[in-house]
Chain A
Amino acid sequence: DGGITQSPKYLFRKEGQNVTLSCEQNLNHDAMYWYRQDPGQGLRLIYYSQIVNDFQKGDIAEGYSVSREKKESFPLTVTSAQKNPTAFYLCATSVEGYSNQPQHFGDGTRLSIL
């Protein structure tokens, strides 16, 4: 079954804790993205990766980190430096990062603070 898998669906973070959100794809897409969605603010880009072993900061990268060691995987770590992590996080992919191909999205992870 092709697609983008995000896990977990719900995640809770304690104060001072780092948490990692998983994003796996089997679409063979080169580019992957992480967005944050807050109520009334649309989606904002956190990080993106156009190819393996390369990634770039988006508009709101502070307090987050990523890695792209495999084409299929683009995990996002929400660090303790991110003071307001409660949001809905969406992972997306596109065939390549240098064109304007549509981005395809996973089901999202909802992160809350305990």
Chain B
Amino acid sequence: AQKVTQAQTEISVVEKEDVTLDCVYETRDTTYYLFWYKQPPSGELVFLIRRNSFDEQNEISGRYSWNFQKSTSSFNFTITASQVVDSAVYFCALSELGGGATNKLIFGTGTLLAVQP
């Protein structure tokens, strides 16, 4: 069965610290997509990144970076020099493609990141 595990329920850091949010997934498919979303206190989910299973290159976008390791089924998210505005719940999600499957996302339980000034 497909599953996404975010073992860190809550993380608290002080501003300017680096922080890594872990995501481990399970799937039997060879073709799949992984996503990260940010949910600020206002409630809406904001799309951050999508990565397909054939692209294991790490990605950097400003202070954000993502490390995809197929060998360990992990897709970790690092925020460098964290800021108070980074405080939010972060969700990792898995989507499978195959046999005409629709765009269904399997979400992890989320990690609440609190950045203290």
Number of interface residues of A (CB under 8 A): 29
Interface of A is mostly: loop
**A43 contacts which of B44, B47, B91, B103 (Cβ < 8 Å)?**
B91
Check B50 against A100 for contact (C-beta < 8 Å).
yes
Classify chain B: how many residues form its interface, as a range.
Answer: 20 to 34
Does A98 lie within 8 Å of B44, measured CB to CB?
no
Q: Are A103 and B102 in contact (CB under 8 A)?
A: no
**Are A88 and B43 in contact, CB atoms less than 8 angstroms apart?**
yes
**Nearest Cβ distance between residue B102 and chain A, in whole angstroms?**
5
Distance (Å) between the CB of A86 and the closest chain B CB?
15
| 4 residue pairs, one from A and one from B, having the closest CB atoms | A42-B107, A105-B45, A100-B33, A108-B43
- Residue numbers of A with Cβ under 8 A of B are 31, 40-45, 48, 50, 56, 58, 88, 90, 92, 94, 96-108, 110
Q: Pick 19 A–B contacts, CB within 8 A, sort by A.
A: A31-B103, A40-B109, A43-B91, A90-B43, A92-B45, A96-B103, A99-B97, A99-B103, A100-B97, A100-B103, A102-B35, A102-B47, A103-B47, A104-B47, A105-B44, A106-B44, A107-B43, A108-B43, A110-B43
